[in-house]
Amino acid sequence: MDVVKAIKSRRTIRRFKQLQVDKDTLSKIIDAGRLASSAANTQPLRYIVAQEQLLVEQLFELTHWAARVKPGRNPVKGISAPLTFIVIVQKSGGNALADAGAAIQNMQLMACALELGCCWIGAYDHKEADKLLELDEHTESLYLLAVGYPNESPVSEDISLEDDQAYYLDGKDVLHVPKYSVNAITQWR
């Protein structure tokens, strides 16, 4: 898949097939993350791949999903929940949020090219997750990335600034993700 197709077709996935993603495939995703831009090339991010059943289930309990269409895209354990989380961590005291954004977007695009889906998760109990992961006092998690085989096909459509940008489920249970058009959000000077 070329990069243009990945950028245009990638959508957040919140329903996953109950199939495990193998280590080689996950390594390709992390490879895409590590190659992203990094302020002063300091590369403060580290990755923890969680696939052990108990750990994944415990992390899942700490997460929140698609608040705007609750409970329509709350994954269900054993049916649609992810079987893998990639935890993005940094050394404490740094400010690696921008680096994490760049890395996660690269990872999502690589996942899309590999026909996998992701959900970038910021809404989780960070303190409990860090405790569960036994992170030392110099390390903290920034985000989780749920990764798996997609079991839904969300779509996006272009909107103007007057339209509602909130994502929604239609009558066929398809998730729609409105995106402002280039013209709506760009000034040319």
Ligand X SMILES: Cc1cc2nc3c(=O)[nH]c(=O)nc-3n(C[C@H](O)[C@H](O)[C@H](O)COP(=O)(O)O)c2cc1C
Residues that bind ligand X (CB under 6 A): 11-12, 14, 64-66, 119-123, 154, 167, 177
Written in H, E and C, the secondary structure of the chain is: CCHHHHHHHCCCCCCECCCCCCHHHHHHHHHHHHCCCCHHHCCCEEEEEECCHHHHHHHHHCECCCHHHCCCCCCCCCCCCCCEEEEEEEECCCCCHHHHHHHHHHHHHHHHHCCCEEEEECCECHHHHHHHCCCCCCEEEEEEEEEECECCCCEEEEECCCCCCCCEECCCCCEEEEEECHHHHCCCC
Give the Cα separation of 41 and 19 in Å (integer): 36
Give the Cα separation of 36 and 44 in Å (integer): 12
Q: How far is the CB of 143 from ligand X (least distance, A)?
A: 7
- Cβ distance to ligand X smaller for residue 66 or 89: 66
- Cβ distance to ligand X smaller for residue 51 or 156: 156
Beta-bridge partner residues of 47: 88
- Cβ distance to ligand X smaller for residue 69 or 135: 69
Q: How far is the CB of 117 from ligand X (least distance, A)?
A: 10
Q: How far is the CB of 36 from ligand X (least distance, A)?
A: 14
Q: How far is the CB of 121 from ligand X (least distance, A)?
A: 4
- Cβ distance to ligand X smaller for residue 66 or 113: 66
Q: How far is the CB of 64 from ligand X (least distance, A)?
A: 5
- Cβ distance to ligand X smaller for residue 66 or 114: 66
